[in-house]
A and B are shown apart, each in its own frame.
Chain A
Amino acid sequence: MDPYSAEGELINIHNHFLQGQFQEVVDFDTSSFSADNALPVRVLQLRARIALGQAQEVLGEVKGAKEPELEAIGALAELSLGKTDSAVSTIEKLVVSASDNVTVEILGGTVLQAAGKTDDALALLSQHSGSLDAVALIIQIYLYQNRTDLALKEVSAARRWAQDSLLVNLAESWVGLRVGGEKYQQAFYVYEELAQAPSTSSIYSLVSQAVCELHLGRTEESQAALEEALKKDPSYAEAIANLLVLKAVTGQDTSELTATLAKAAPKHDFLTTLEEKSDLFDKAAAKYKAKVSA
């Protein structure tokens, strides 16, 4: 049973988590929840704190804990602190001992995927029994793999048993941005709804909305959304990266923002790939030269 399902009492806090409202998750009044849900709530809050950059504290908090959930949280915290190897070994241990634990599956999947062990991650996640989180992760991994076809299948399967779940909507939007065409607009609607309602708005949904607008060719709207996002958190890497892309798309100068991004997230995919491509260019260009040098 998925504790986060629509019927469960954790739906709101879970949705906050999914919407990227991590502070709200941490501050959520948990007193009313039943004892059974204490652990899932704690896991959620710890994940939110990791997302908020408090990985070190969380790691300290869960140290020595025996619950596989908390051990998995520890691994996630390690991952976000850059200790990938130890995170992976922790997870690999947990996979053996508690592979049927949904939190282990989800967090393990995350860690393994982040560590580049895609096949292991998929293998672990595929053991899930009706966890939307796991499905979402699977979809995301498929998308990393550029297997839009498989991702689509997962989404439509999930649609059938979890119709209007926020997570399904989000996952569908992820896939939609890959498929394109009308799907761009549909994804945009999902994110816009989240970003424009104060109760659900977050930097995460704003950036997502901006990305949709970028794909729809609405560069001005996209820029507005990104700037709003940056107002909330000037160092949010995805916002900077997408703004960079936007500037490139509209033919504006990108050097200043590139520096900003380098400061905020030096290992961002945008920068690493750019670096890579720059080298590639030099290498490739070296193969050509004029017959006669001037």
Chain B
Amino acid sequence: MQSSPGMLTKFESKSSRAKGIAFHPKRPWILVSLHSSTIQLWDYRMGTLIDRFEEHDGPVRGIDFHKTQPLFVSGGDDYKIKVWSYQTRRCLFTLNGHLDYIRTVFFHDELPWILSASDDQTIRIWNWQNRSLICTMTGHNHYAMCAQFHPKEDLVVSASLDQSVRVWDISGLRKKHSAPTSMSFDEQMGRGNQNQTDMFGNTDAVVKFVLEGHDRGVNWVAFHPTMPLIVSAGDDRLVKLWRMSETKAWEVDTCRGHFQNAEGCLFHPHQDLILSAGEDKTIRVWDLNKRTAVQSFKRESDRFWVIAAHPEINLFAAGHDNGVMVFKLERERPASAIHQNQLFYVTKEKTVKAYDFQKNVESPTLLSLKKLGSPWVTPRTLSYNPAERSVLVASPVDGGSYELLSLPKDGSGAIEPTESKRGSGTSAIFVARNRFAVLNSNTQVIDIKDLSNNITRSFKPPAGTTDIYFGGTGNLLIITPTAVHLYDIQQKKTTAELAVTGVKYVIWSNDGLYAAFLSKHNVTIVTKTLEQVSSLHETIRIKSATWDDAGVLLYSTLNHVKYTLLNGDNGIVRTLDQTVYLVRVKGRNVYCLDRSAKPRILQIDPTEYRFKLALVKRNYEEMLHIIQNSSLVGQSIISYLQKKGYPEVALQFVQDPTTRFDLAIECGNIDVAVEMAKELERPKFWSRLGAEALAHGNHQIVEMSYQKLKQFDKLSFLYLTTGDHSKLARMGKIAEHRGDFTSRFQNALYLGEVEDRIQMFKEIDLYPLAYMTAKSHGLEEECEAILEATGLTEDQITLPTLGKPLTPAQPVVPTFKSNWPTKAGSQSFFEKALLGQVEGLSLEDNTATNLLDDAMDVDESSKRNGLIEDDEEDATGWDMGDDDVPEVESDFVNVDSSEAGGAGSSEADLWARNSPLAADHIAGGSFETAMLLLNRQVGAVNFAPLKPRFLEVFQASRSFLPASTGLPPLVNYIRRTLDETDPRQVLPLIPRDLEHLASNDLQKGYDSMKANKLEDGIGYFKGILHAILINAVANEDEVSEAKKLITSASEYVVAMSIELARRQLGGPDALAKDPEKLRRSLELGAYFTIPKIEVPHRQLALLNAMQFAVKNKNYNSALSFANRIIANGGASKIVENAKKTKAQCERNPNDSIDIEFDQFAEFEICAASHTPIYSGTSFEECSFDGSKYHSKFRGTVCRVCEVCEIGKHGSGLKLFA
């Protein structure tokens, strides 16, 4: 049972002869149909038999998985085709029809078809959905041994013992069966007729080619997945390769080598190889292009009957006399080496490439290794020497060979190695800057060689050495099947030895202190002196590993990335959908090479292992950081913490009261336990709490628990021990109340209350005891009374000897008042920090935080009192002395809670406090502060024009609710914050909000502009300015809207005032008399066109100016106005007019009167003097409406808003708090 070197057996099963094999396309499953009539389903990765299906009678030869559905099909010597569900583990149905053994069955990749080949010489296609036979292909005149669908085209290839291979065209069948489902009657008739012809003419499947060349029967045939090639294997011991075109097919070549019947053959799914298996007990691999044998594997005693390839991954299976074997042709692990931020690796094309971790880029090909050994064998290891920038590549070819090559500086030059030194050896690694070690496992010699490939020393390693690895400076790790030796090269002796079996790979940690030994199923972590640190076992095969910078080993199995700490704690980091080889971990990235030797980056969440690592290292800051920054919850981490003895840490993660309680008890955190017990309120928890508290000496909690549990006796005893007499007395009362005499007696005893005891005895008619008690305490009167009550005399009683009366000890210390120092709770640093965090503290210096907190408090409280005003920020929180704080606080308390009468502040007063907006102050009637605000914000000085707005806002602030007759109505305050009830948040309604202004006042302004009622218009626009000045908006967006409205209104006011000024110069008559006035009039007309008013309105201004200019023969100016009108477009009448004027003016583009109006210059109009302010000259503006003035007007009232002082800068208008 040994396979040839080179072939990697992954799985073997033992059974009777395997006749059919099928790989599951996704899962690690293989179906094996046996000569014994059984069908087995194996998990070849785990090596377990999943299921057996035994319904066939006699050998089962054909088997296939469906590509997507949970189905498989089998065909047996019972002539039956069975379709199975592996989910329900049942045979779904049987297709009957074949008249002899069935050799192969295959599903179609897309269509619901099954193809079967049978000894009845037919090949049939079945529809497994409607379970019908849809096509029978006849033509072979001997057993049909194999028939397969083409993976892409509508072709079928079949092999028969009639020595022929046939290719069938089934496109007719597909057409017929992929027709629309709804058919007319005619079509159905046609379809019926077609079927008729099927019976005789068979147009659905026609023979396309008949390939003849085999001298004996053909056992197997297969299409190439992509190329138009066919491979067949026959009893003539030959494997033949055929090629076909659209019109013909021919034999290409023959692969000779099998010395017995060739039973199966196939194309390698990814490489240019052919695999074949035969009764000569060999599997042979052939080069598809050269048709030469590449490899051959021989089994000792089992003839091969069938061979199959996995459709996706590089895996094959062959069935033989005693079972099946799953194998790989080659190692898929790409050889690689890491130096700093570079990964050097060998690609599938046998070239060396580098990959930069930081830049995440692959280099171009650095070196080609094509000439190293066979083209089909990739090197096993790569060792990199940074000093020389050379690589040492070891390959298993020819019993092992190595090659020492230098890498070029970059990949741009020649990739063929310039000079190479080679030699034979199974392993070759660098051990020093100028030395490398070569192991020859056959001769069991290790040579240390220099870079010229000369042996400098040579020694015999321990027996059975299979591999060598770098072992730290001057050392080698020598791997034998049962142990690892640390070998000192200088001393030529083993310095340490560790018994670890089957080590395959050694991975050193980044700091070189630890190494991980990977075996098939084990990871062993050792120190650099080969002391074992930890070891773990995996049921799934371990593929690779790499160290995290922090000393965590990440390793990959076939389907997971896992981690292990040095102490052996391990866990899963993520799952893998395909096998990868880890090379490095950096932060959340895991770098790896996949099976096609492409670098890949996997995202991982390192939180869990970092947390565990921090826990192990007791790095509490790190843990705290992790807890704060990631969502680390879940049962696993909790149980981990608990298991590892960190209940106090686990406590921080748990919400569930029961678990919290358990953890709290475990770590002795009584406070939390009490809290949870209260929440849970169940006797079980209280009794546990009581027991734990007692152990702590925390008798107050014990008392609480006993109370909750109603354990009166225990409680009494507790009071006795803590010397709490008053409570003991109360216990006595309770006992009396409960009618529990024993308890009452006990309490009385504890208290030393003789009378009570006697009284009790009397109550329960135990006079003798009462008497004795009285007697022993010398209470003679009581004795008399008892005697009297019982009608006895003293001499009638015989008393036993009475001892001394019991006097309970008096407590020396009032223990009950407080707990003794209790057992210290295991409050770790971590927990303290965490508690700190809960209280809003961080790990920063405590004093600083406290100060900060105080300051915050001041800030908070003063805010609540509404003391902060926007423009008094410098007076808040931070500056306030400590003395102020109590005052502020008490003031606050006073307002809210004093029961005594005294008026509160009205809501109007609150508004002023709640808001930094002038409008809100006005609504609250606080005009002085409002004016102060406006003065500071926009430099308002002349308030008279604002009076109507002030009163309007104020008027709109209060409603009058008639209440009790005879009394004035209740004044209520109208809010804009309708949903708000917190008096510190309410704000007044401000009439004429932005929307109202835009839709009403602005419109009126526009209308007056259009109607040429400029006096009214100015009034409206000024009104808008005033209304915005005293207003409030809802958000920042509205603030910018308001700003736009201000600018617009301001421009209109300027424009209108220019035109009004022009009109004031007098009518045409007056102008005619005074050329100066005429000139000024023309200028003003021109300036009227400057302010940025709406285009239609600007057109009016331009028209006005144009006509006026034309009238006064200023054609040049008129022309410029006309051009602007035309450019603006719009109302056709005006534009027409302008065009006419333009034509007229162009004839004589001169101005008869020289005016100060440069149509090409950039300028603004001074709102006071109505003269241009050219850009570059200094000017002043109104900080509210933005109107511009010559500097000389600084300090006067703005002509536009009539409120603000020109040039006075404020903090800016506030409309939104």
A residues contacting B by CB (< 8 A) are: 17, 20, 22, 47, 50-51, 76, 79-80, 107, 110-111, 113-114, 118-119, 122, 136-137, 140, 143-150, 170, 174, 177-184, 204, 207-208, 211, 214-217, 238, 241-242, 244-245, 248-251, 254, 269-270, 273-274, 277-278, 280-282, 284-285, 287-294
Contacts and interface: CB of A to CB of B under 8 A. Distances in A.
Contacts of B941: 288-291
Given A278-B951, A293-B1196, A181 B963 contact: no
A292 B959 contact: no
Contacts of B509: none
Interface in B889-942: 896, 899, 901-907, 925, 927-928, 931, 935, 940-942
Given A291-B1195, A292-B1196, A211 B961 contact: yes
B905 A146 contact: yes
10 contacts: A143-B970, A180-B986, A182-B979, A211-B960, A215-B972, A248-B952, A254-B952, A288-B931, A288-B943, A290-B1196
Interface stretch (B34-42, B565-573, B989-997): B989-997
Contacts of A293: 1196-1197
A249 B942 contact: no
B975 A180 contact: yes
Contact of B955 (A107, A170, A245, A280): A245
Contacts of B952: 248, 251, 254
B966 A110 contact: yes
A216 B974 CA distance: 9
Contacts of A277: 925, 927, 950-951, 954
A151 to B, nearest CB: 10
Given A140-B964, A211-B961, A248-B956, 19 more contacts: A20-B965, A113-B967, A114-B966, A140-B963, A143-B970, A215-B975, A245-B955, A248-B952, A250-B991, A269-B971, A274-B954, A277-B951, A281-B927, A284-B928, A285-B947, A289-B942, A290-B941, A292-B1195, A293-B1196
Given A146-B903, A249-B989, A249-B991, A76 B966 contact: yes
Given A79-B966, A285-B931, A290-B1205, A148 B972 contact: no
B965 A47 contact: yes
B955 A214 contact: no
A215 to B, nearest CB: 6
B348 interface: no
B981 A183 contact: yes
A174 B963 contact: yes
Enumerate the 9 nearest inter-chain pairs by beta-carbon distance, A residue then B residue, closest first: A291-B1195, A285-B943, A248-B956, A292-B1195, A181-B981, A248-B955, A251-B992, A146-B904, A145-B903
A122 to B, nearest CB: 6
B775 interface: no
A47 B966 CA distance: 9
A21 B981 CA distance: 32
B605 interface: no
Nearest to A288: B941
B978 A110 contact: no
Nearest to B1198: A290
Nearest to B895: A149
Given A180-B981, A238-B962, A144 B970 contact: yes
B845 to A, nearest CB: 42
A214 B974 contact: yes
Contacts of B906: 146
A139 B1207 CA distance: 53
A283 to B, nearest CB: 9
B928 A288 contact: no
Nearest to A121: B967
Interface of B: 896, 899, 901-907, 925, 927-928, 931, 935, 940-944, 947, 950-952, 954-956, 958-972, 974-975, 977-981, 983, 986, 989, 991-992, 996, 1000, 1168, 1194-1197, 1205, 1208
A281 B949 CA distance: 11
A254 B954 CA distance: 13
B944 A208 contact: no
Contacts of A122: 901
A261 B928 CA distance: 27
A211 B969 CA distance: 11
Contacts of B959: 177, 211, 214-215, 242, 245
A208 B962 contact: yes
B960 A242 contact: yes
Contacts of B950: 277, 281
Q: Which of B903, B962, B968, B978: most chain A Cβ within 10 A? A: B962
A25 to B, nearest CB: 10
Contacts of B978: 180-181, 184, 215-217
Nearest to A51: B965
Contacts of A217: 978, 989
A57 B297 CA distance: 132
Contacts of B940: 288
A145 B960 contact: no
A278 B950 CA distance: 9
Contacts of B968: 114, 269
Contacts of B935: 288
Contacts of B956: 245, 248-249
A238 B964 CA distance: 13
A43 to B, nearest CB: 12
A269 B980 contact: no
